Each structure stands twice: as C-alpha cells, then as structure tokens.
Structure 1
Amino acid sequence: MCCFEGIELISLPKLEKLGVLGWVSHSAPLSFGFIPSLEELDLAQILLRRQHLYKLSDFLHGATGIHTLTLDSKGSTIWLQPEIKQLTSAFRKQRKLIILGIFVEFDLLWTTTFLEAAPSIEMLHIEVCEHACELGDENDESGIFAERTNPRWDLDFHASKNMLLRELHVAHFRPLEQQLTFIRAILERAPNLQTVMLTKDGEICNECDAMALDAPPSASARPAFPRTKEEQDSVVRWVIDGTFFSGQIYFR
C-alpha cells in the first residue's frame, strides 16, 4: 500500500481496475489521462474534520468506460456532495454500483440520485454498517474525523425509470423504516426489477473482537433480521403493496 497526496494517471492503456483507500487532500486525489481499459473503480474514504465533501464527478473526469463503481464510507459520514447532471457522462456505461459502509441510522434514499444519473445500471448493491469497530463519533477519541451526519440530498428528480435495473441487494438488512422506504422506492422506479436480495450480517468481525467492543447501545433497539416466514412476509407486504413488482424477494 502506498500513500500519495495525489495521483495523475497520464497513460495506462492496460489498466482495468483501480482502488483508492483513503486520502488526505482537500481535492480529488485522482486525475485521469489515457485509461481506455479502466472498467472498475473502488473509492473508500473516512472523512476528516478538516476536509470538505467531495464531488464524485471530479474523481471520474476522464474515466468514461467504468462499468463497476464501488463507494465506501466505512460507517462514517458520507463523503460525497449531491450531484446528478455532472455524473451523466461518467456514468454512461455504468452497469454495477456498489455503495458500502452506510451507517445503519442513515437514510438511504440519497443513493437513488445515482440511478437518476445512470439509467444503464443493472445491479445495485447497498451495504449497511453498524460495526462497533468502524470509526465514528463513538470511537473517535482523537477528534480528527468528521462528525457523522445523516445525508439529506435535496435534488431535482424527474421521476425517470431505471428500465435496466434487474437486481437489488441490501446487505446487513434490518426492517428499519429507512431501509423499507428505500426498497419500496427502488421497486417503484425499476419496473423490470427481478430480484431483491436481503442478507443479514452473519460474519464474525475480528476487529470488533480484537478491540473488545460491543455493538452500539442503540443497536438493541433496532429490529432484528427477519428469520421466520411470518416476519419475512410482513416485510414483503410492506415494500410491495401498491407496486407492480412481480419479481422475487430473498432473505439470506
């Protein structure tokens, strides 16, 4: 792993995948030149207090061939500025969008702005995060990280449909109002959606164990992953009633 203030990729004709795991600069640390083969880009960031929100369009300028984009906030505040029109060119070939590390108490509807900018998306993967080991207000003893705030993106939507969206995956699902509302919103704007996958957080976190941290106190008040058929049927009714969804909802 290397650490730089910024990276300018002048000419890398065979580069197919790139990952950037955090940066300290105040502007986008990436600059793309000739990268005709770049198809997958991963961006992960925990926002510092001294940093401002970033424009995703600044990261993607010059990268018009990306079909798989991963954005990770590591359970901290969302580091992105609201955008739609500025992303349409970069999202022209977007097929798979993965958004990780969204704090469990955050609203999820802001993620639909990417669907507005990328009508070509076929698969949307959302991962909710509530691990105690994730850096946030509770564990930031140094005070260097930005305060965790719920994203509120007030953007001008045109009620467009995502005709190509076939699959939605919500990882670490709980039947919280913000998650149910989000799923229903996707069902309403994606008439050809075939599969909704709702999965629980069944992995043992070595970081949490090593730090001897328990789940956040508010976690006990959150509804658990629906395990019984009755609980699952209740979730299904909540999200599909009044919609034209004819696909399948799976609980794993």
Structure 2
Amino acid sequence: MARTSRRRQAAKLMGKPSVKAESSLDKLKGNEDGRISKLPNDILVNILDRLDFRDVTRTSVLSRRWSQLPAKLSRLKISARDFMPSETSISDDELDEKLVRINAANAAVVKATKSMLAHRDPGGCTIRLLSTAFYLRDDAPISIGHTVGNAMATHKVEKAEFTVLTEKEHKVIPDDALNFGARFVSFFNECLNAFAGLTRLDLANLRFVKSDYVSSILVTCKQLHYLGFHNCDTSDWITLQVEHAQLSELSIVDCRFDMVELTWVPKLTWLAFLFWRSSQELPLSLGYVPLLGVLRLSNLARTMHKMVKLSTLLHETSVRDMTLGFKCEKIWVQPECLTRRQAYVFQQLRILNLLNIPEGYDLTWTMFFLEAAPSLEELYMTVIDHPCEMIMDEEKRRKGYYCDNKGVEWESSSSNFKHQRLTKLTIFCFQSENYMMSHVRRVMEAAVNLEDVYLYDRLTCSRCRDVEPLKPIRFPEASRQRCWVEKQIRGDIESLATVHFLATDVIRDDHLARIPRGY
C-alpha cells in the first residue's frame, strides 16, 4: 500500500512530460529536499522516463543520487531537434546558418548517445526504447549507428528507432535528394548491425540511384514494426514489392514508385498511402495483409487521375477504420452500386473519416459508404477550401490540369435505404448552406439509430488566417439561427438524434484525433 501511495504521489508531482526544460528542473529542485527526495529510485526513474532528454541531463546537477539515475532509464529518446534553437526557425534558404546549428545538434546527439549508453550496466535494466533522431550529415550518423549497434549487442533492447533527417526539408530538388540518398546508403552499409535490430525507421527526402537499395532496407531490417518513407524514390521508377514478417505499420507519403505491392505482410495493421500525384492510377496493390485494420489514403487529384474503386482495392482486406483525404480538390473515389459479391469488402468498416472535401458540391455521393458498410458506426466529414494551399489562378490551374468540377455524382439504387448501426455523425466546417443541411437530413433519415449529430464551426488554419475566404462563412452562431437550421434539417422526419452546434475552440477529445493533419 505504501508503494502504491508513493507512485500516486510521484504521478501528481510529475504527471506530464515537461514543455520547457526550466520548468521541469525547477520542480525537481524545489522538491529535492522535500517529498520527492524520499521516493525510491524506481519511482524517480519512472519520473525521468517521462521527461525529454535535455530535462533528464539537467537533473544530474541536483545531487550525486540524481546523477546516477539516467543510467537506469528504460526509455532513451535523443533527438537533434531538441538541440536546435526553438525561438527562431531557420528556413532552407538560410542554409549556411542552418548547417552550423545542425552540425552542433548532431554532435550533441553523438555525445549524448555515447554517454548514456557507456554508463549502463550490460546486465542491468532492460532498455525498453532507444530512439535517436539525427541529421544525415558528415560522420555523425555512422558514429550513432555504431554506438546503437554495440548497445544492441551488449544490452537487452526491446525497441530501437532511427529518424533520419535532412538539412533541407521543403525545397528539395532532385540533386539534393540524390545527395541525401548517397549519404544514407553509405550510412546503411556501415551500420548493418544496427539496422538489423531496428524496430522503427523513418526516412525522408531520399532518392536512390539503384532500385535494390529500397529492397535492401526491407531485407536487412528484419525486426521493423514501423517503416516510413516521405518524399522518397529511385532514379528509375520501380515496383516496390513489400514482403516482411514483422512489419505492422507502413507509411508512404509523397513518394514516386511505379507501384507498391504489399505482397506478403502478415502482421500489417496500419497503412498510410498519401499522394500519388505523378501516377494516373492509384499505384497500390494489397496482397496478403489479413490483419489490415486502419487505412489512410489521400491525394490531390487532377484531370489525369483516374477514379479509384475501393471495392477492387480492398477485396482481400477487413479494414475497420478508413480515412480518405481530398486536399480540397477533385473527388477521386468512385461511388459504386455494389453487387453481393463486392459487398463483403466493407462489412468490417466501423469508422470513416472524409477529409478536406471541396466546398459547394453535392454530398450525396458519401451515402455510398452507408449503403456499402452496414456496420459503420461513426462518420466524420470535413468540408473546407484552404485558399492558403490551393492554386487559385485560373491560368495556373489550367496548366496544372486542375479540375473545374470537383464533385462526383451518384444515385442510390435503393429509395428506402435504412442503416441500423450508425450512431454518430460529425461534420467539421459546417455551414448553413442548402447542400449541407440537406445532406445531414439525408443521413438522419437513413440512420434510424443515430444518436448524435455534431456540427462544428470552421476549423482555424494559421496559414489561412490572413487570407480572404473564398466566400462568406455561414455557421449559425445565435440560438435563433441554430433553431432555424435544425428545423430545416429535421423537417418532418422522425429521428431521436440530438443535434449539437459546436465552436472549434473547444473540441471534444474523441473528435480531436479526426481533425485533418497533412491530408
């Protein structure tokens, strides 16, 4: 009982990771001679495990006892980003100044990684997580790789992660990507032992001269549970065949492969495949992925992009949670009238999130999902135009093959369709426009057991803040307006669902995870 009481006391003192190093250190200093100093070492280590690395290193000045605790930590997270100045961001255009900071941050990561691992007892505490993030510069990655590889050989390490960063993140030209790719290959070849033990690998902005380098990652990193590619490709477009016994999460964002074939990934549960801008068709094939439950697809579709038939893509899967993003442009999903043979594809779907649907277009096509997915319980929709990231100039849109008509038409084959399982409808950026109100009414009429309809005001976008909206925003603010909108929605339909009008300054916790980020 005393031990439980001490744990609760520690949780109250250090319940959340620190945001500022000074604040966390001050808390510890203030309590060093008080309650916290009376706690046993395992509780203090548990507290340190909740802090970021810079906070942990600063605690060593508190006392001799505190200086010995970092060697007992079970979670080591060391990131070069933590050593970069946070008060001002340095753009890619200021590369010389940025490189000075990057080299210093990398040196700090090398020093910290060596120091933290050198003082550990090989027969002591298990390292639950060893995570390092560093820039692909000079010899620092190889030094980190050797240190981590040695740690894997001499200590018990449950999870090991590399996040490989590049000095340019936004304006990466092909020559930059080729350079970064060559650096990574040298690093990879020098540190095969470390890569063989990794459980998570994040890569960005790499172009490989030879296509087999990508396959080598999959072959060498046999313990991977997560693999992320962002803005990666090969000089000669390839079909990337993924066969991996342990991989459970795969993220491919803005990459240019001719085709990605998930041939045999028996433990894959989560897949994000975002932006196939250079391909006319979705360059993704789902083979043996029997456990795939969460799927994220998004694209900025133009006139050359072909519509995607989800029944064809998902025919061998049991997806339960699906997110589809449209980047405020053309709807690229082909609504279907499913045959009985196709219908089983959506039998397991429970949660559907439709992100950044362009404004002003009929939403009837989304009813396809209700008819196709009899087990659907939650439907989320975000209907918004982001002028900050949209191409607005008509000439540029024409040259870029952007679509004038972004909508898609669909007509149900059943006039009296009823859905039994949907209980929650949530729409972000709701407006009292006829096409939106009629769609909410349509869903309420079909979903006979609907319990709640959440209609949120427009989401705030920091980049759109100073940009004039494309048209006036019409969210019902006053009570009288809301009563009128709800009356228009309900009409004479019989529905027990409660309609909630909500501002976006306070969003329910269960809805936060469904707000679009990067889609």
> Same fold by TM (over 0.5)?
yes
Q: Distance in 2 between matches of 1:140 and 1:75?
A: 18
Higher relative contact order (Cα pairs below 8 Å, separated by 6+ residues)? 1
After alignment, is 175-184 or 3-12 more displaced?
3-12
Shift of 1:140: 7.3
For 1:208-227, what aligned pairs fall within 5 Å after superposition? 208=464, 213-216=467-470, 219-220=471-472, 224-227=474-477
- What is the aligned counterpart of 2:332 among 51, 76, 79? 79
SS in 2 for 1:163: coil
- What amino acid does structure 2 have at the position aligned with 1:74? K
Q: Distance in 2 between matches of 1:140 and 1:70?
A: 32
- What amino acid does structure 1 have at the position aligned with 2:486? V
SS in 2 for 1:9: strand
1:76–1:138 distance in 2 versus 1, CA, 3 Å = farther
The residue that corresponds to 1:245 in the other structure is: 495
- Give the helix-richer structure, 1 or 2: 2
Shift of 1:153: 1.6
Matched, 1:230 2:485: no
The residue that corresponds to 1:206 in the other structure is: 462
SS in 1 for 2:464: helix
Shift of 1:199: 0.3
Listed as ranges, the gaps of 5+ residues in structure 2 are 1-229, 233-254, 503-519
Matched, 1:112 2:380: no
Cα deviation per residue 1:49-86 (whole Å; 9 max; x = unaligned)?
322222222322322x1001111111001112231316
Q: Tell me if structure 1 keeps the 8 A contact 2:286–2:316.
A: yes
Q: Tell me if structure 1 keeps the 8 A contact 2:444–2:497.
A: no
When Rg is computed on C-alpha atoms for both structures, the one with the higher figure is 2
- What amino acid does structure 1 have at the position aligned with 2:417? S
Shift of 1:42: 0.8
Cα deviation per residue 1:97-153 (whole Å; 9 max; x = unaligned)?
111111111111110011111111111111101221243554772622431413222
The residue that corresponds to 1:90 in the other structure is: 345
Q: Tell me if structure 2 keeps the 8 A contact 1:75–1:136.
A: no
Matched, 1:32 2:286: yes
Q: Distance in 2 between matches of 1:187 and 1:136?
A: 35
SS in 1 for 2:344: coil
Q: Tell me if structure 2 keeps the 8 A contact 1:47–1:145.
A: no
Shift of 1:94: 0.5
Q: Distance in 1 between matches of 2:464 and 2:258?
A: 30
Q: Distance in 2 between matches of 1:180 and 1:154?
A: 18
Shift of 1:155: 4.2
Q: Distance in 2 between matches of 1:151 and 1:235?
A: 26
1:93–1:140 distance in 2 versus 1, CA, 3 Å = farther
The residue that corresponds to 1:185 in the other structure is: 442
1:140–1:108 distance in 2 versus 1, CA, 3 Å = farther
Q: Tell me if structure 2 keeps the 8 A contact 1:54–1:81.
A: yes
- What is the aligned counterpart of 2:428 among 171, 174, 177? 171
1:15–1:127 distance in 2 versus 1, CA, 3 Å = same
Matched, 1:68 2:68: no
Q: Distance in 1 between matches of 2:463 and 2:450?
A: 36
Shift of 1:226: 0.8
SS in 2 for 1:235: helix
The residue that corresponds to 1:153 in the other structure is: 410
Cα deviation per residue 1:164-204 (whole Å; 9 max; x = unaligned)?
0000011100010000000000111011000000001242x
1:133–1:232 distance in 2 versus 1, CA, 3 Å = same
Listed as ranges, the gaps of 5+ residues in structure 1 are none
SS in 2 for 1:236: helix
Q: Tell me if structure 1 keeps the 8 A contact 2:305–2:332.
A: no
- What is the aligned counterpart of 1:7 among 243, 260, 280? 260
- What amino acid does structure 2 have at the position aligned with 1:51? H
1:193–1:184 distance in 2 versus 1, CA, 3 Å = same
After alignment, is 185-194 or 235-244 more displaced?
235-244
**How well do the aligned residues superpose, as a CA RMSD in angstroms?**
1.9
After alignment, is 13-22 or 135-144 more displaced?
135-144
- What amino acid does structure 2 have at the position aligned with 1:175? S
- What amino acid does structure 2 have at the position aligned with 1:58? T
Q: Distance in 2 between matches of 1:151 and 1:178?
A: 14
1:58–1:22 distance in 2 versus 1, CA, 3 Å = farther
Q: Distance in 1 between matches of 2:356 and 2:394?
A: 16
Count of residue pairs the alignment pairs up: 244
Cα deviation per residue 1:220-245 (whole Å; 9 max; x = unaligned)?
2x5x2111111111111111121111
Q: Tell me if structure 2 keeps the 8 A contact 1:98–1:125.
A: yes
Q: Tell me if structure 2 keeps the 8 A contact 1:49–1:144.
A: no
Give TM-score, length-normalised by structure 1: 0.89
Give TM-score, length-normalised by structure 2: 0.45
- What amino acid does structure 1 have at the position aligned with 2:299? Q
Same amino acid, percent of matched pairs: 30
1:140–1:31 distance in 2 versus 1, CA, 3 Å = farther
